[in-house]
Structure 1
Amino acid sequence: MRATSGTQGAAVTSPSRATSGSAAGLPARILRQGAYESLAMLRNGEQLVLAIVLPLLALAALVITPLLDAHGPSRIDIAAPGVLALCTMSTAFTGQGIATGFDRRYGVLRFLSTTPLGRSGLILGKAVAVVAVLAVQLVVIGGAAVLLGWSPRPEGILPAALLLLVGSAAFTALGLLVAGTLRPEATLAVTNLVWILLAAAGGILIPASGLPTAVEPLISVLPSAALGDGLRSALLDGVLDPIACLVLLAWASLASLAAIRWFKWS
């Protein structure tokens, strides 16, 4: 009881400070929320396995095995862009989807949406977290790939960065759509299952052109194939694939509109 009354007293006596001109603006609140969510993801063992360990294992497996021998000049040059695309999907779709789903169950989303951060600030904070964690992944996975002999085209770095940003927006929107419409347990199952299916046969690690002819047209319009093939074009040939970029923009737009329409905060 004493602790409760003391907290209430502090809340009553401090509003002048909370509402003073020194209160943080919305950009600062978004950055702080993004930093908090980034650290939470990187400190979570399961998220760390998904974000770092599994992509490293995938990179090693693709370099050791002859799976990609028919798709390019060297295994590492084909494998590295695909694994970077896998990192984007891991963080933006699976990682954010699971985290948001359980935040929704425990009322965290509903609580934060009523604070000065607001709903838009919360969503932007999650986007900042995705970009921050993706930057860590790029350093770790990209560094490992360089040690294995990867040499991306310098002129393809900017097109690759653009594709990564658009791809992260598309996968984040899809992750929020799943997390905002399904129960947390279903979100956990769906995001992990989709991750496995897209990693294995979604054109993200193995180019869509290397999959059976009957399914290639369907696979090529998936965001996974668009990001994987787009990064390979950028980092292997040094050019921006406009079709891949348009596919990712379409997925980002449609998933965002669907999430805005059907997302449930509690």
Structure 2
Amino acid sequence: MSQTQSPFLPSLNGAQRPATTTARILAQGRYETITMLRNGEQLVLAIIMPLMALFALRFTPLLDGLPGTRIDIAVPGVLALCTLSTAFTGQGISTGFDRRYGVLRFLSTTPLGRAGLISGKVIAVLSVLVLQTVVVSAIGLILGWAPALGGLLLAVPLLVLGAAAFTSLGLLVAGTVRPEATLALTNLLWIILGALGGIVVPPGRLPGLLGEVAPFLPSGALGDALRAALQHGAVDLTAVIVLLLWTAVAGVLAVKWFKWN
């Protein structure tokens, strides 16, 4: 009787070959994505809270007096908030609990390896971010959003860069802070950066020192970059440089200090 052949593990001279590195990473990315979407708290942070912010900014006078309509200013900021929610808070919480229960230590010793595990998390972040972008953009269009057409292409690499910066920060927190404190710290920083970090409310509308500091935070930089792209079809070079610096510094520190157990 011939041996049953798995479609995912093709045979080599009658024997099954192990899954390729790419297949392992994609499988881990799929698992991470499903886990994030099934988690009620993360789903609230990823979808519900950004949509609540979008409606609040659209139907309150908070953004009045700034160049552009309320909805045109609001949508880029809410997309930036989605990135913060998924890449920083969501990934930080997920990684923190995986570390607490020994999942990271176990998976890092499997053929997936540490690089494969991190790659899977990046895939999960980008997958959820795509879903968030589609939902927020659709609601924004219904509410009258009219983005600059050229800015739509610019927004894609900016969202990826923002995701890289916040994922690096999320892994830095989850890999260095006690796992029990990760949940509280990531949620606290989400509130602070979301409300006062220039992400949904432009730095120019923030009072005093906050307005001066916010453009140099990853939240303010991503918000400014997306507003420039989607409102005016322009590149905010300063904001891009700030995001690149945050990504590089947080990434190096996360690699150096990350604790797998």
- What is the TM-score normalised by the length of structure 1? 0.91
Structure 1 residue 120 corresponds to structure 2 residue 115: yes
User: Which residue is equivalent to 2:62?
Assistant: 67
User: Which residue is equivalent to 1:58?
Assistant: 53
Please tell me whether the aligned partners of residues 62 and 79 of structure 1 are also in contact (alpha carbons under 8 angstroms): yes
Deviations 1:149-170 (A, max 9, x none): 1011110112111111111000
User: Which residue is equivalent to 2:100?
Assistant: 105
User: Which residue is equivalent to 2:38?
Assistant: 43
User: Which residue is equivalent to 1:32?
Assistant: 27
| CA distance in structure 1 between the aligned counterparts of 2:215 and 2:110, rounded to whole angstroms | 42
Q: Which runs of 5 or more residues in structure 2 are unaligned?
A: 1-10
| CA distance in structure 2 between the aligned counterparts of 1:30 and 1:214, rounded to whole angstroms | 44
Q: Which amino acid aligns with 1:35?
A: R
| CA distance in structure 2 between the aligned counterparts of 1:105 and 1:215, rounded to whole angstroms | 35
| CA distance in structure 1 between the aligned counterparts of 2:75 and 2:96, rounded to whole angstroms | 30
Q: Secondary structure at the match of 1:67?
A: helix
User: Which residue is equivalent to 1:96?
Assistant: 91
User: Which residue is equivalent to 1:227?
Assistant: 222
Deviation, structure 1 residue 241: 1.1
Please tell me whether the aligned partners of residues 175 and 259 of structure 2 are also in contact (alpha carbons under 8 angstroms): yes
Aligned residue among 184, 187, 195 for 1:189? 184
User: Which residue is equivalent to 1:262?
Assistant: 257
Q: Secondary structure at the match of 1:116?
A: coil
Structure 1 residue 148 corresponds to structure 2 residue 147: no
- What is the TM-score normalised by the length of structure 2? 0.93
Deviation, structure 1 residue 22: 2.8
Please tell me whether the aligned partners of residues 160 and 240 of structure 1 are also in contact (alpha carbons under 8 angstroms): no
| CA distance in structure 2 between the aligned counterparts of 1:263 and 1:214, rounded to whole angstroms | 32
Please tell me whether the aligned partners of residues 71 and 207 of structure 1 are also in contact (alpha carbons under 8 angstroms): no
The aligned runs of 1:161-240 (5 Å cut-off) are 161-240=156-235
Deviations 1:98-117 (A, max 9, x none): 00000001000000001110
What is the aligned length? 249
| CA distance in structure 1 between the aligned counterparts of 2:256 and 2:130, rounded to whole angstroms | 30
Deviation, structure 1 residue 183: 1.6
Q: Secondary structure at the match of 1:205?
A: coil
Q: Which amino acid aligns with 2:38?
A: R
Deviation, structure 1 residue 215: 2.9
What's the Cα RMSD here?
A: 1.3
Please tell me whether the aligned partners of residues 109 and 265 of structure 1 are also in contact (alpha carbons under 8 angstroms): yes
| CA distance in structure 2 between the aligned counterparts of 1:241 and 1:29, rounded to whole angstroms | 37
Aligned residue among 225, 246, 250 for 1:251? 246
Q: Which runs of 5 or more residues in structure 1 are unaligned?
A: 1-15
Deviations 1:216-261 (A, max 9, x none): 2311100000000100000000011111111101000000000011
Bigger mean CA deviation after superposition, 128-137 or 28-37: 28-37
Q: Which amino acid aligns with 1:104?
A: R
Q: Which amino acid aligns with 2:114?
A: R
Deviations 1:186-231 (A, max 9, x none): 1111100000011111000111111124332311100000000100
Percent of pairs with identical residues: 61
Please tell me whether the aligned partners of residues 180 and 264 of structure 1 are also in contact (alpha carbons under 8 angstroms): yes
| CA distance in structure 1 between the aligned counterparts of 2:199 and 2:169, rounded to whole angstroms | 16
User: Which residue is equivalent to 1:82?
Assistant: 77
Aligned residue among 134, 138, 145 for 1:139? 134
